[in-house]
Amino acid sequence: MEPSALALFWAAVIAVAIIVYVILDGFDLGVGILFGCTRDRALKNQMIAAISPFWDGNETWLVVIGASLFAAFPVVYAVFLPAFYIPVLVLLFSLIFRGVAFEFRERAGARLLWDRGFFIGSALAAFVQGAAVGAMIRGVPVANRQYAGGAWDWLAPLPILTGLGLVAGYALLGAGWLVLKSEGELRDWAYRRVRLLAGVMAVLLALAFGAALHEHARMADLSLRSWGLVFPLLAVMALSGVFAGARERRDHWPFLMTVLFFLAAFATLAVLFWPYMIPYAITVGNAAAPEAALSFLFWGAGLFVLPVIALYTIGVYVVFRGKLHKGYE
Amino acid sequence: MDALDPVLLSRIQFGFVVSFHIIFPAFTIGLAAWLATIEGMHLATGRAVYARVFRFWMKVFALSFAMGVVSGIVMAFQFGTNWSVLAERTGSIQGPLLGYEGFTAFLLEATFFGVMLLGRSRVPPWFYFVACCMVSLGTMLSSFWILANNSWMQVPLGHRVVDGHLIPDDWRAIVLGPVMMVRWPHMLLAAFLTTGMSIIATGAWYLLRGKDVDEARVMLRWGVGLVAVLIPIQIFMGHLTGDYVHRWQPAKFAAIEARWTTEQPAAEVLIGWPDEAAGRNLFAISIPRLGSFIASGTWDSREVGLDTFPPEDRPPVVVPFFTFRIMVGMGLVMLAVSWLGLLLWARGKLENRLFLWGAFLAFPSGFVAVIAGWFTAEVGRQPWVVYGLLRTSEAVTPSLRGADVAVSLIGYIVVYSVVYAFGLLYIYRLLRDGPGIEAARGTVTPQRPLATAMSGDAP
């Protein structure tokens, strides 16, 4: 079934929301992961300061994704969440714990508990998101428009590799963000991690690619869309840009090149999956809610709320642009 | 059958997370309106005590709002994880309604709530007041969508059925149905009363301890006045809500009344123990003919009993029977506290210690009433999730095993226990310390709800 214009609009909204979420929450989850890799209190506090004005706005995009999916593509919502019942649970717990740790660590006592919680929550949230991508590449079994597998099907070698890959990838985004936002000791500390993390991520993704070939995961018909090969190529170039930026100590490069890498990786997956929303069972056209629902949503949320959310996001980043100096909190 | 029933466990899980969640929205809807009122009074009179009261409740509001948002994110995923058949069949109706709720809450946080947190000193006073009013309006609008969605699940209208899917046909009927028009005000008043009772209790607490007396008097008097005015309206709205149940959901009505057989004229069971297995009431105290009067307004109407409905269509009886009576009982507590308060106030004896103790101890009455009321509505709707159209037992995610749900349920209980124990501890500390304590801890300019609540220097 061919998707209608409104269905394409909402699919595009969700695609944009996902990539914005991945990049924005990616860097603050990444900083959370790096937070667990040092015992230096001063560094830890600067890391928190570098993300504190942003993190809760970043997570709003997760709500945009969930709300838009349920409203515009209910069957995708109804298949995806049961298929990833355990990862979604872990994600929610991680985000809750991490969110309160942010505020409680200063004032609650039990500082060790909240510091650990912040690190573990960040790492687990990254891991389950990456694992879900791996499981999507393997395909999700669907029968009668419902998920037809078990709660632990997602746990396989490929998803574990992509999960670990995303932990490294988010940490890399986080390191790039710290380089961008800090000076002095913290910037040096972050610079030292950029190349290591980029290397680890590249190795994990190469292993994941091998695992995908080994499992004969259906790589769609990439041969039919050979133009799509431009995206993996772009990803490789972006990765070398990360290394170059770290070598020449250009403060903007590691973060921006990592963002480019994520955009290229996302586009690669989009080429692999299209027209499926749940690979390889449910397409955009099949999943779309009736036009009456899509247009009801469009006239309020699409035309009014989404632009405000976008403006708000941009506004926050403009207000808190530049280096962190003594903490802009 | 599985030893662990995924349907039952999923219901328990939903009940657990939603009961935890509703505490915070109910409180914050009321607090937002209260803050707008107090800010308006400050603007009108210029009295400094209003500014201090405002600043104090603003902190409580920020923390409750944050906890409501966090527990609300969990709710946004429950429909998909555990009730995927419901989500798939009704998603084109429930998805947009719940989506609009999420978007509304976000718009609020991003715009006027930001102004509220930013502080009164950075914007003109009139604009700050407008921001407070808009936040209050926003919280009410947020509840509008939730009630529109739930009212549709109670009495579905404006849809058509295509291949087992419920498709929106007439959004006006879906969103603004007659049931919604009764239940939304009922919920809003419940939220105002919940907060009103909390404010009365807080004021009474300080007066009993002899601290922050000026602020406490403002809280006590305003609280008593507001609750005294609102509670009769709420009792009337409750009556209208009962009318919709009587008309549209007769099985739920019979369950609430524990009326096992059709009666004419019908008696009213005031209290008793419904024995579901035997289909009769034990230790019942009932009043002849009162049941007919409550249901239909005449003393001799015929009222249907549960025997009218096939066993598979009957709701549980014990839970709706008791939760309904608890809700009504809490309403009577609010009526007693507020009207007694008015009486004492008129005689200049509002600060009678015995009354203050009673008012203090009545602090949970609103919360208990809200939760009991929702249990009546939701358990009474069973065995349907969408009344008359989709059974709860058929709405559950088919791939779920009992063990999966047991894991997630235990997880929610553990995580909520830890996180909310700390959160509630903070709210308790804020309330205990009172408006007099303005400890300036650090020079932080709060940007986010939680930070505002945590730091001493509120806006």
B contact residues 103-132, partner A, Cβ 8 Å cutoff: 103, 106-107, 110-111
Q: Are B56 and B434 in contact (CB under 8 A)?
A: yes
Q: Mean pLDDT check: name the lowest of A274-278, B344-348, B392-396.
A: A274-278
Q: Quick one: what percent of chain A has pLDDT higher than 90?
A: 53
- Cis peptide upstream of residue A280 (ω within 30 degrees of 0): yes
Quick one: average pLDDT of A257-283? 90
Q: Look up residue B448 and give its two tokens.
A: 């986010």
Per DSSP, the residues of A278-305 read ETTTEEHHHHPPPHHHHHHHIIIIIIII
Q: Look up residue A84 and give its two tokens.
A: 């990833």
Q: How far apart are CA B169 and CA B302, in angstroms?
A: 36
Query: Can you give the three-state secondary structure of B42-60, one letter per residue?
Result: HHHHCCHHHHHHHHHHHHH
B contact residues 246-305, partner A, Cβ 8 Å cutoff: none
User: Between these two residues, A212 and B250, which has the higher pLDDT value?
Assistant: B250
Residue A117: half-sphere exposure toward Cβ, Cα within 13 Å:
21
CATH of the domain at A146: 1.20.1630
A133 occurs within a structural domain:
yes
What's chain A's average pLDDT? 88
A214 membership: H or E segment, kind and range: helix A184-214
Which chain B residues are within 8 Å of A329, Cβ to Cβ?
444-445, 447, 451
Residue A153 pLDDT: 92
Per DSSP, the residues of B280-294 read EEEEEEEETTHHHHH
Break chain B into its structural domains and give their ranges.
6-248+319-454
Q: Are A99 and A114 in contact (CB under 8 A)?
A: no
Could you tell me which chain A residue has the CA closest to the CA of B406? Answer: A86
Torsional sign, CA B342, B344, B348, B350 = negative
Torsional sign, CA B23, B325, B196, B359 = negative
Torsional sign, CA B118, B121, B123, B124 = positive
Which chain B residues are within 8 Å of A70, Cβ to Cβ?
76, 79-80, 87, 91, 94-95, 98-99
The residues near B417 (Cβ < 8 Å, ≥ 6 apart) are: none
Give pLDDT tens digits for B108-133: 776 788 788 777 777 888 989 998 99
Domain containing A241 equals 17-293+301-319
Q: Mean pLDDT check: name the lowest of A229-238, A297-306, B63-72, B78-87.
A: B63-72
Residue B168 at interface with chain A, using a CB cutoff of 8 Å? yes
Backbone angles phi, psi at A39, to 5 degrees: -105, 0
Q: How far apart are CA A315 and CA A307, in angstroms?
A: 12
Nearest to A149 among B76, B94, B399 (CB): B399
Residue B441 pLDDT: 37
Q: How far apart are CA A17 and CA A71, in angstroms?
A: 15
Number of domains present in the structure of chain A: 1
Q: Quick one: what percent of chain B has pLDDT higher than 90?
A: 66
Which chain A residues are within 8 Å of B73, Cβ to Cβ?
59, 62-63, 92, 95-96
Q: Are A79 and A146 in contact (CB under 8 A)?
A: yes
Residue B443 pLDDT: 33
- Which residue matches tokens 């109670």? B154
- Which residue matches tokens 């570098």? A50
Alpha-carbon B374 to chain mean position: 7
pLDDT at B448 over 60: no
**Identity (one letter) of the amino acid at B450?**
L
Q: How is residue B316 annotated by DSSP?
A: P
A234 occurs within a structural domain:
yes
pTM of model > 0.95: no
Give pLDDT tens digits for B236-284: 999 999 999 999 999 999 999 999 999 889 999 999 999 988 888 888 8
Q: How is residue B401 annotated by DSSP?
A: -
Report the gap between the CA of B295 and the closest CA in chain A (Å): 37
Give pLDDT tens digits for B362-381: 999 999 999 999 999 999 99
Q: Mean pLDDT check: name the lowest of A29-43, A101-115, A239-253.
A: A101-115
Q: Do A67 and B451 touch (CB under 8 A)?
A: no
| B168: confidence class by pLDDT, cuts 50, 70, 90 | very high
Which chain B residues are within 8 Å of A77, Cβ to Cβ?
79-80, 87, 91, 95
Q: Which of A325, A316, A326, A327 is nearest to A56 (CA)?
A: A316
The residues near B179 (Cβ < 8 Å, ≥ 6 apart) are: B151, B154, B155, B244, B248
In our burial notation (b when 16+ CB lie closer than 10 A, e otherwise), range B194-233 reads bbbbbbbbbbbbbbeeebbeebbbbbbebbbbbbbebbee
Give pLDDT tens digits for B337-366: 999 999 999 999 899 999 999 999 999 999
**Identity (one letter) of the amino acid at A286?**
N
Backbone angles phi, psi at B299, to 5 degrees: -90, 0
Q: How far apart are the first and last CA of chain B?
A: 57
The three-state secondary structure class of A276 is strand
User: Between these two residues, B65 and A260, which has the higher pLDDT value?
Assistant: A260
Residue B246 pLDDT: 93
pLDDT at B23 over 80: yes
Q: How is residue B274 annotated by DSSP?
A: E
A237 occurs within a structural domain:
yes
pLDDT at A131 over 90: yes
Nearest to A74 among B87, B171, B397 (CB): B87
A10 occurs within a structural domain:
no
Quick one: average pLDDT of B211-239? 95
Backbone angles phi, psi at B100, to 5 degrees: -65, -35
pLDDT at B444 over 50: no
Q: Do B95 and A93 touch (CB under 8 A)?
A: no
Nearest to B100 among A66, A78, A301 (CB): A301
The three-state secondary structure class of B414 is helix
Nearest to A92 among B74, B92, B100 (CB): B74
CA quadruple B289, B291, B294, B295: dihedral, nearest 10? -120
Q: Do B91 and A71 touch (CB under 8 A)?
A: yes
Q: How far apart are CA A29 and CA A88, in angstroms?
A: 16
Beta bridge partners of B160: B167
- Which residue matches tokens 């650090």? B442
Q: How far apart are CA A299 and CA B213, in angstroms?
A: 51
